[in-house]
Amino acid sequence: MPDKQTTGQITFENTEKQGTSEHGFVEGIKAKWQKHVDKNKAKAAARDQKEKTSSNDPIKESDKKEVQKTPQPAKIENTDELKELFETFDPKKDKKKLTKKMRRQIIEAEKAYQHGVSSIKDLVAPTSVEVTPKSFKLNGMMTKSFFVFNYPRFLDANWLNPIINFDVAMDISMFVYPTKSDQMLKILRKKVAEMLSTKRINAKRGAINDTSLDTALEDAEQLRVDLQRGMERFFQVGLYFTVYAENAEKLDTVCKQLETLLGTQMVMVRSGDFQTERAFESTLPQATDMLDIVQNMNTAPLSSTFPFVSSSLTSNEGIMYGLNRHNNSLIIFDRFKLENANQVVFAKSGAGKSYAVKLDVLRSLMMGTDVIILDPENEYETLTKTVGGTYINISLNSDQRINPFDLPATFSKEEKPGESLREAAINLSGLMNLMLGNRTPVEQGLMDRAILQSYELKGITQDTENPHELEMPTMKDLKNVLESLEGGRELAVRLERFTEGTFSGLFSDQTNVNLESGLVTFCIRDLEDQLRPISMYILLNFIWNKVRSELKRRLLVVDEAWNIVQHEDSGRFLHGLVKRARKYYLGVTTITQDVEDFLDSPWGKPIITNSSLQLLLRQAPVATERLKKVFDLTEQETSLLLNSKVGQGLFFAGNQHVAIQIVASPGEDQIITTNPEELIAQRKKKK
């Protein structure tokens, strides 16, 4: 802006102090003047032009008057006085210096200035609204507003939650007007007196006792006591809803759904017909209650209406899963308190699935829960070794041994002695099917006999009590028995591959690892393809036996589960385990990055349905559509998943949904990270 501005009426000198509040004030006035002067100049120029071009069309007398009537900018007459005022103006001290007239002029100037400034209102205002008696059309969107006119006698905590989570465009506004307790007490006293006298009159007449009157009287008395003692306060509450839909038909459906949802809570609503505009305005975020339809409520039921309880998942027991991103509270939870303790974890690669589950494992171990892990990526070794667990590398090169003939420690007390042996024999028979391929019925009979005889050689029969305390037979013993049986030679030769030949190793000898430790991890990364079915069979049977042997809190973690469900045998097993886990105090955690593969397998979907705990971390856009359907996600939840960072996502526990941030302490992070940089740094430190 040039230093001097000639307006024809007043000259301002640029003498205002920079950076003070007066600066903006004077600047505003100047801008206003400039605007008015420019506007008037433009108008005058246009008028001159018009007069020139239509000189042979003389202006009518009335038109002239019209022209003279165009509003002129407010004239400031006391030029010097005003000028001086602006130069030395201090709003605190100099208030009195302003004359009434000057004040008015300044206000007018300010008004004119503000008139030309675009405000937030201009930005958010709709292009059109159409008000009809029954609906309110906003930019082509149909809306309908409702008010609550009656509440039930009892309100459940968090009753508004289903409506908040109702996945339609909706505005909800709530007006809470505190009332003075003493006023309320006066009214209540009167009411109680009325009810008592009605009761007395009824009794005098000999009429039957009116139970509804009794209830009302009881409630009123209770409230009177609570108000008097200051335990409760009294409020008037207005609750309004506005729903939006693209067309009348959809709006109708949505309205019915809303009414039903509220109806199930016995909360009665009516639409704001014939006052649609006022009803709509009442739900705008501007705190104007245009309807003023309120209900009386005391503190207790009012607090149950507080709508944000849904996003808190803090309980007194359990382990910490992470931070609640809605309110930074801790998500502390005991999965064994849910209807089942199973969990599914879905996310794209690198989003932090294994990290989250490792934290879960670490913290669960601290609470005395046993854990078994199937680790296909050799990721859990540090974790297992740090906590003193058993890490078993399932591979032909491994020097660790698991004996498939092992009998589980103690089955439940009701089971008879022989039971575990019979089970083991059946399982071994199945294992032989996998090892030796198809056999004739005669061969099968022979094999079953040989298995039982191998146990007998070690002194284990159907009648032996506590057989697990004795030494177990091995694959080699079975081979020897087969050799000694008539017709068993051929089978013995076929079995040789697994006792001395290429596939000997892992399963041919007595168990030499501690399978009783709190954390047992099976690394299946180096599992040879030919050995896969056999190994999985033995492994899964081991897990099953362990789970059944003693009732104890246990977790089974299956990482990269899409890999497991691809195979018929292991998929079926996992599904069966997930379904029955609850009865055995077991929680199965299934981790998968390949949503499509997992869901396409016949076992994937049922595993999800049978898992009460669901953790969704960052997703690839391709996967979201499928997930949205399977997990019934809202639009916001879907976009939250797409925009999540590593370790962020959604955590579902039963019906409760929260946005989660997985956090680890530095100590935990060291044990569980798979970040190559951090791992190298750790190794260097060790050296």
| Interacting residue ranges for ligand ATP, rule: CB under 6 A | 347, 349-355, 593, 646-647, 662, 673-675
CB-based contact 567:535 (threshold 8 Å): no
Q: How far is the CB of 377 from ligand ATP (least distance, A)?
A: 6
In the list Mg ion, ligand ATP, none, the entry touching 646 (Cβ below 5 to 8 angstroms by class) is: ligand ATP
CB-based contact 276:136 (threshold 8 Å): yes
Q: How far is the CB of 554 from ligand ATP (least distance, A)?
A: 22
Q: How far is the CB of 238 from Mg ion (least distance, A)?
A: 51
In the list Mg ion, ligand ATP, none, the entry touching 294 (Cβ below 5 to 8 angstroms by class) is: none
Show the tokens assigned to 47: 């008028």
In the list Mg ion, ligand ATP, none, the entry touching 352 (Cβ below 5 to 8 angstroms by class) is: ligand ATP
Cβ proximity to Mg ion, 354 vs 673, nearer residue:
354
Cβ proximity to ligand ATP, 302 vs 359, nearer residue:
359
Q: Which residue is nearest to Mg ion (CB)?
A: 354
* Number of residues engaging Mg ion in binding (CB under 5 A): 1
Helix, strand, coil shares, percent, the chain, to 5: 50, 15, 35
Q: How far is the CB of 347 from Mg ion (least distance, A)?
A: 9
In the list Mg ion, ligand ATP, none, the entry touching 576 (Cβ below 5 to 8 angstroms by class) is: none
Q: Which residues of 58-76 are buried (b: 16+ CB within 10 A; e: fewer)?
A: eeeeeeeeeeeeeeebbeb
CA distance 157 to 280: 27
Torsion sign over Cα 259, 262, 266, 267: negative
Cβ proximity to ligand ATP, 425 vs 664, nearer residue:
664
Q: How many CB atoms lie within 10 A of CB 1?
A: 10
Q: How far is the CB of 377 from Mg ion (least distance, A)?
A: 6
Q: How far is the CB of 376 from Mg ion (least distance, A)?
A: 9
Burial class (CB in 10 A: 0-12, 13-18, 19+), 143: buried
Cβ proximity to ligand ATP, 454 vs 648, nearer residue:
648
CA distance 212 to 101: 69
Q: How far is the CB of 380 from Mg ion (least distance, A)?
A: 10
Which conformational region is residue 373 in: left (phi greater than 0), alpha (psi within -120 to 50 degrees), or beta? beta
CA distance 60 to 667: 92
Show the tokens assigned to 219: 């409630």
Question: Which region among 154-162, 353-361, 417-425, 541-549 touches Mg ion (by CB under 5 A)?
Answer: 353-361
CA distance 563 to 585: 25
Q: How many CA atoms lie within 13 A of 673 on its CB side?
A: 18
Torsion sign over Cα 376, 377, 379, 385: positive
Binding mask 188-227 toward Mg ion (x if CB under 5 A, else -) reads ----------------------------------------
In the list ligand ATP, Mg ion, none, the entry touching 647 (Cβ below 5 to 8 angstroms by class) is: ligand ATP
Q: Note whether 563 binds Mg ion by CB under 5 A.
A: no
For the chain, give me the number of helices (H) and strands (E)? Answer: 26, 20
Cβ proximity to Mg ion, 248 vs 646, nearer residue:
646
Show the tokens assigned to 26: 């004077």
Question: Which region among 199-207, 280-288, 347-355, 436-444 touches Mg ion (by CB under 5 A)?
Answer: 347-355
Cβ proximity to ligand ATP, 551 vs 622, nearer residue:
622
- 181-205 and 211-228 helices, crossing angle to 10°: 150
In the list ligand ATP, Mg ion, none, the entry touching 325 (Cβ below 5 to 8 angstroms by class) is: none
CB-based contact 390:521 (threshold 8 Å): yes
CB-based contact 214:198 (threshold 8 Å): no
DSSP 363-374: HHHHTT-EEEEE
Q: Note whether 590 binds Mg ion by CB under 5 A.
A: no
Q: How far is the CB of 620 from ligand ATP (least distance, A)?
A: 11
The H-assigned helical ranges of 152-311 are 161-164, 181-205, 211-228, 248-264, 276-282, 299-305
In the list Mg ion, ligand ATP, none, the entry touching 286 (Cβ below 5 to 8 angstroms by class) is: none
In the list ligand ATP, Mg ion, none, the entry touching 498 (Cβ below 5 to 8 angstroms by class) is: none
Q: How far is the CB of 520 from ligand ATP (least distance, A)?
A: 20
Cβ proximity to Mg ion, 424 vs 591, nearer residue:
591
Cβ proximity to Mg ion, 279 vs 613, nearer residue:
613
CB-based contact 358:602 (threshold 8 Å): no
Cβ proximity to ligand ATP, 294 vs 351, nearer residue:
351
In the list Mg ion, ligand ATP, none, the entry touching 347 (Cβ below 5 to 8 angstroms by class) is: ligand ATP
Show the tokens assigned to 646: 């590593």
Cβ proximity to Mg ion, 147 vs 380, nearer residue:
380
The secondary element (H helix, E strand) that includes residue 92 is: none
Look-up of token digits 């009761």: 199
Q: How far is the CB of 599 from ligand ATP (least distance, A)?
A: 16
Q: Which residue is nearest to ligand ATP (CB)?
A: 647
Q: How far is the CB of 507 from ligand ATP (least distance, A)?
A: 28
Cβ proximity to Mg ion, 508 vs 644, nearer residue:
644
Cβ proximity to ligand ATP, 351 vs 460, nearer residue:
351
Work out which of 311, 354, 390, 673 binds Mg ion, going by CB under 5 A. Answer: 354
Cβ proximity to ligand ATP, 279 vs 527, nearer residue:
527
In the list ligand ATP, Mg ion, none, the entry touching 613 (Cβ below 5 to 8 angstroms by class) is: none
Question: Which region among 59-67, 75-83, 351-359, 458-466 touches Mg ion (by CB under 5 A)?
Answer: 351-359
Identify residues 448-507 at the interface with Mg ion (CB under 5 A). Answer: none
> CA distances (Å), 376 to each of 373, 526, 587, in order?
9, 8, 19
Cβ proximity to ligand ATP, 352 vs 587, nearer residue:
352
Q: How far is the CB of 163 from ligand ATP (least distance, A)?
A: 33
> CA distances (Å), 28 to each of 18, 80, 405, 499, in order?
14, 19, 92, 96
Cβ proximity to ligand ATP, 541 vs 593, nearer residue:
593
Q: How far is the CB of 297 from ligand ATP (least distance, A)?
A: 42
Those residues whose C-beta lies under 8 Å from the C-beta of residue 636, and which sit 6 or more positions away, are none
> CA distances (Å), 314 to each of 167, 332, 337, in order?
25, 5, 13
Show the tokens assigned to 150: 């009656």
Q: How far is the CB of 462 from Mg ion (least distance, A)?
A: 45
In the list ligand ATP, Mg ion, none, the entry touching 212 (Cβ below 5 to 8 angstroms by class) is: none
Q: Find the angle CA(317)-CA(318)-CA(320) to the nearest 5 degrees.
A: 115
The secondary element (H helix, E strand) that includes residue 520 is: strand 519-523
Secondary structure letter of residue 206 according to DSSP? T
CA distance 616 to 594: 12
Q: How far is the CB of 311 from Mg ion (least distance, A)?
A: 27
Residues that bind Mg ion (CB under 5 A): 354
